[in-house]
Amino acid sequence: MKTKDVLTTFEAARICRVSYNTIKNWIKRDLLSAYRTAGGHLRIKNDDLQVFCREHGIPMDEHAEPIHKKVLIVDDEEAIRIALRDSLGKYPERLDIYEASDGFEAGSMMESTRPDVVILDLVMPGMDGFKVCQSIKNSPALSHVRIMVLTGFPSERNIERVSELGADVCLAKPIDQRVLYESIENLLKPRPGVRAVKRKKGKKKV
């Protein structure tokens, strides 16, 4: 594997075997040098990362295998599915992305693909997101699945309800791309509970 001169925060996290948020905290505290691209993305020079790791006694594994996970997008709006698919296609790690246009199709696809994360819309015709969420959590074969709920109605009642049904995180539409990446990163690791993420101004939406 050829060593890259410039790394994304996700690649740096993989090499150092720490979380994406840990890398961000190091940068925020001015412990690790980084810069932003014209598009606003953080980048780290490999040389700077190596110096930082030597100074702090952090072992590096540049040959660590990237994360390879499965994500199922469930939304009846094709435009939303396309936007999410395109956005996740730019995620630094390897993600196999699948799509379902309703809850019934999602049930069939979950049986065949066994996704690691399901991105689930709440309001859908027929079998809505609440029922899909409940079905996932009631299935022992899908006990490993983490659930990210999407909704244009992030009311306290809806958040409480999906929390009770086992959702891990609830994002408000339109989705902040940076929050989407951070949420995916968190869902790839065990993390109980559900939290609501409010819309942020001035960020790229998908």
Which class is 6-56 in CATH?
Answer: mainly alpha
C-alpha torsion sign, points 78, 94, 137, 140:
positive
Instruction: Count the alpha carbons within 13 Å of 124 in the hemisphere toward its beta carbon.
Output: 27
> In the structure encoding, which two tokens stand for residue 60, read together?
């590096």
Burial of 64 (0-12, 13-18, 19+ CB in 10 A): middle
CB atoms within 10 A of CB 144: 11
pLDDT at 72: 95
Q: What is 68-197's CATH number, 3.40.50.970, 2.60.60.20, 3.40.47.10, 3.40.50.2300?
A: 3.40.50.2300
Is the per-residue pLDDT at 56 higher than 60?
Answer: yes
Q: Where are the domains of the chain?
A: 6-56, 68-197
Is the per-residue pLDDT at 10 higher than 90?
Answer: no
CB atoms within 10 A of CB 41: 14
pLDDT above 70 covers what percent of the chain? 86
pLDDT at 176: 83
Of all helices (H) and strands (E), which one includes residue 99?
strand 94-100
pLDDT at 141: 87
pTM above threshold 0.95? no
Per CATH, 6-56 and 68-197 having the same topology is answered no
Burial of 197 (0-12, 13-18, 19+ CB in 10 A): middle
DSSP state for residue 40 in the 8-state scheme: S
pLDDT at 120: 94
Is the per-residue pLDDT at 133 higher than 70?
Answer: yes
Beta-bridge partner residues of 170? 149, 196
Which of 11, 6, 3, 12 lies closest to 37 in space, CA to CA? 6
Instruction: Count the alpha carbons within 13 Å of 130 in the hemisphere toward its beta carbon.
Output: 10
State phi, psi for 95 to the nearest 5 degrees: -130, 130
Q: Pick the range with the lowest mean pLDDT from 30-39, 56-65, 135-144, 193-202.
A: 193-202
Contact indicator for 143, 167 with CB cutoff of 8 Å? no
Q: How far apart are CA 136 and CA 167, in angstroms?
A: 10
73-90: per-residue pLDDT in tens? 999 999 999 999 988 887
pLDDT above 90 covers what percent of the chain? 35
Contact indicator for 119, 132 with CB cutoff of 8 Å? no
Contact indicator for 123, 154 with CB cutoff of 8 Å? no
